Every structure is written in C-alpha cells, then in structure tokens.
Structure 1
C-alpha cells in the first residue's frame, strides 16, 4: 500500500548530516580567514533587525521619560548641578596634579602618557548564551570602532571589542571565562593576571604565589601590558584570599569595579593618534564642564 506522506531520511541520517555540517562549519571558522569577514557582513546585515527589536524598549523609555513630573525634573537638575560643582572642584585639583606629574616625568626622562579620546555608546542587546558573557552596542565601523578596543563604564573596565559591524559591535566582558587582563595592585604595583570565571560579580587572579604581597581590599588597575587596555583604569577590588599550602598557588577572588549586571551606557577609548573626529578628548570635556562667565 502506498503511503500518503512518503517518509524522508531517517532521524539517524539527519543527525549525522547536522553533525557533519557543524564540524565543517567549526573547521572553516577557525581555519579560513574569509569567514571572519563574512561574519562581519552578516552582523551588518542583521543590524537593522536588532535596531527594530530594540525599538519597543526605546519607545517605552521615551514614554516614561515624557511622563516624568516637573517636580522630579527640578530635583534631578539640582542634583546634577551639585554633582557638577563637586566634579569641577576635583577637576581643578586633578589638573594641578597632572601638571606636576608631567614635570616629574620630564625630570626622570619618562614618557608622558598620551590622552585618550572617548565616545559614549549604548547597550543594544545581551547575549542569551549562559556560557558566554557578551553584549551588543550601538557603535560600529562608521564610528571608528576597532577590534580589541577598550570599553568602560563610569566605574571601571567592562571588556573589549571582539567583533565590529557597520553600525554595531560585540563586546566581550571581563567576566567571560575566555577573558584575561594584565593588572597591577595600586598599593604596591605587584603585577597579576585577572581572569573571568563566568560570574558577573566575581573575578579570579591567576597563578598568585603564596608569598605575594596582596591584601583584601587592594584595588586592581590595568597595567597597560599587552597593549590592549591603557594603564591606570580600575578593574576590581580583591575580596578574598585563601592561602592553602597544599595548593601550588593562592586562591584569590576580586569584585569587578564595573557594574556588569547593570550596563546601560558605555565609554569607548581611542589613542590620540587614531581617534575619529567625533570622539572627544579630556581637554574638550574639561572645557565643556567649565562654568560660563
């Protein structure tokens, strides 16, 4: 008897085909250089869909802000004025200290650190893969974003750019298990390596000898080694140290300075020599903060 719906390939055959295709795709992704370019084209191709998917949240935020009462706006404005006044006072002291630092570096014949140019970016999406800590931001190649670029928030380092599309980019967070960053302890300049462990609220220090002079509460800042992250930016604070002589190294944990679970706005950094025209320098920021005469 003829079947009304003829049967296709068996489930085992389908499984074998999918597995074979997956292995072929993984091999091509690691061995064929043109695949990275193709992936960038795909990212640019789907970016309009990502903007459309992000549109309801933008509209809701706009509606909520439009319904904010006049009294709330007045109170927020007063707080911002107070914060700007305090920041201006700290900025005045910072400028003096910076000038003194440059003079000391000149006397010691040490190179003066170049200013970093900056640009504000906004979070578009969060990777839903629980084993990968990545986010998508709304700046891309047309804004001068490049692979390996440093990304921060108002508290410290968030991660680095790993993939650039035309209008958006993908950021690998410092909490990802594949991420590591050279750092130093601000108290005594001891160099360490800070790695992600797949936890947004905790980092790990790799291969720390038991005799290393570190303490709970020590601030970890970027060392500048590796030429990825500029030196001097906060990474985290040491939260626990376990020195078990039965283990070859101490077990050291740290809390990230950046709020990795509450990312909204981010800061992209450029060296002065490669900064795009739309990026602003520290001098321009300082000028914009100065009160009008």
Structure 2
C-alpha cells in the first residue's frame, strides 16, 4: 500500500478536544463571571447553603477528635487550677485560724495583765512581775518555774499571785529563776478566812481530788460552812497579805462516824494555766525590827558622892 494513501489524523480515542489555552481562557472568564454575578446578584447563595447543609455531618464528625482533645485539655487544666485554688484556700484558712487564735490569746493575756495591774495597785506591799517559764519536772509535786531569782530580789517564801488570787509560794530561789510551789501541792498549807462567817482555818493541797483542789481540814462536822463560801488569806501567818482570794468551797461531806467534816475547795487562781504572775514580798519581812529594850540603870553605890 502506498504511503500516500494512509490516514494521518489521530484515532478518535486520542482526540483531546480544545486546546489547553482555550480551556484556560474559557474557565477563567467563567470564574470571573460567577464571581461578579455572585457579588452583585448572590446567585450562588442557595447552592452554597445546600452544600454546607450536606457537608455539616462530615464536618461535625471530623471535628469530634479535635473537640475531645480540647475538652480533655481544658478538663485537666481546670482540675489543676481547682486543686491549686483549693490548696491556696486551705492555707489561707489555716493562717486565718492561727491569727484568730493568736488574737484571742493576746486578748486573754491583755485582760489578765490588766487584772494583775489592778491587783498590784490594791496591795500596799512591794510586788514584782514575773512570767511562768515551765512546770517542774517532778511529777509528784505541783510546782512551776518563774523567770525571776536572787538577781532580781526574789526572797524565799514570797507569795505568788495571778489575776484571780493566790497561786502559791516561792520555795526555792536560784540566781536567775525561782521555784514556786502551787497551793494545790500536798506539802503546802495556807491559813484562810471564811469571808461569810469570819472563821479561820487552814487549807491543804488535796491529792485525792485529782491534784487540782484544796481540802479544808480540822473543821468540825457542825461547823458553819456552806457550798460556794469564799476563802481568803487570813494574814496571821506573816507570809500572805490579808484579804487575797484563795478558793471557794465546792463540796462538803459530813460523816456521823467522824468528828470532822471533809470539805473540798476549788482554787480561785489558774493553777494549771497561769502565765503572768506577781511576786509579793513576805509580810513578815516588812514588819519593822523590834527595838532593843533600854538597858536597866545600875543602882548607885552607897556613900557615893553626888
């Protein structure tokens, strides 16, 4: 077959239609037309709404992992912040409780110091302010240690008072501190006076009542004593000034087989919680020394010239 008779046109399968440049120009013009038409007449708004409605479930499903991650991050962040806020609030509450306790304690100390000042003005004798440092180490005695000693002029046997009444007596003096035996100690006795009746007696530390009370001993079963009677210092021992509150009668036991009544008393002073006290000079040390009697005159000798 001669070559001239062959069909040189491409088969229909490989036909590509318009050229690429023609397609570019057509679609560019069509896109420009659509943009202008949409901007002026909004002709694609229904189509856009329809496409958005159809694609919303797909978008929602695609956003779920992102939303879950964001929610988990916010949850843990909020939990951490909540824990931090809770810890901060607990610290603030603890500090406020501590400050409230300190304010209450300072208020109580202020009131006690005011009462001590009032009591100090009522005493005619010289007094000295002191502070209780700690309780004595001996568990079988009721003693405390104060911060004043020989250097400050504390004398052995000096009465010790708090704002409510007699607390005890100085029984040992060191250069810088002193030991005070509380009036509830079993070895201490104090002469007292019943304010209502004027009867004198002696109160002893009572170990049988838990170590925090006094016992009024050697009072007859028919003695005129009543519950809530106030006992004060009688002043006859030369140690305690007269009229200082000591205790109140709390319980009276009268037994037919005993000639004496068993009388229990509650001390007026804070024997278990005193902090600020005053030390009073013993009354006996303030009594002026008895003057020496005058020497008797010798009789004149007989025959002596005048």
**What TM-score results when the alignment is normalised by the length of structure 1?**
0.55
8 Å contact 1:196–1:204 — kept in the other structure? yes
Matches within 5 A, 1:275-286: none
8 Å contact 2:240–2:283 — kept in the other structure? no
Cα deviation code 1:235-285 (max 9, x no counterpart): 10000111112112000000000111112111111269979xxxxxxxxxx
Q: What is aligned with 1:150?
A: 159
Q: Distance in 2 between matches of 1:255 and 1:274?
A: 29
8 Å contact 2:157–2:282 — kept in the other structure? no
Based on CA coordinates, which of the two structures has the bigger radius of gyration? 2
SS at match of 1:208: strand
Q: What is aligned with 1:183?
A: 192
Cα deviation code 1:165-214 (max 9, x no counterpart): 11110011111111101101011211111000234421100111112111
Figure out how many residues of one structure are paired with residues of the other and give that number: 182
SS at match of 2:281: strand
Q: Distance in 2 between matches of 1:73 and 1:260?
A: 23
Q: Distance in 2 between matches of 1:166 and 1:240?
A: 41
Q: Distance in 1 between matches of 2:198 and 2:274?
A: 29
Cα deviation code 1:39-76 (max 9, x no counterpart): xxxxxxxxxxxxxxxxxxxxxxxxx9xx848xx869x7
Query: Which of residues 107, 130, 144 in structure 1 aligns to 2:139?
Result: 130
SS at match of 1:116: coil
Q: Distance in 1 between matches of 2:206 and 2:137?
A: 17
SS at match of 2:246: strand
Q: What is aligned with 1:171?
A: 180
SS at match of 1:132: coil
8 Å contact 1:182–1:222 — kept in the other structure? yes
Query: Pairwise CA RMSD of aligned residues?
Result: 3.4
Q: What is aligned with 1:285?
A: none
Q: Distance in 1 between matches of 2:183 and 2:255?
A: 26
Q: Distance in 1 between matches of 2:142 and 2:232?
A: 21
8 Å contact 2:238–2:282 — kept in the other structure? no
Query: Which of residues 205, 212, 221 in structure 1 aligns to 2:216?
Result: 205
Q: Distance in 2 between matches of 1:207 and 1:248?
A: 9
**What TM-score results when the alignment is normalised by the length of structure 2?**
0.53
Q: Distance in 1 between matches of 2:174 and 2:110?
A: 35
Cα deviation, residue 129, structure 1? 2.0
Distance 1:154 1:225, change over 3 A: same
Q: Distance in 1 between matches of 2:221 and 2:284?
A: 42
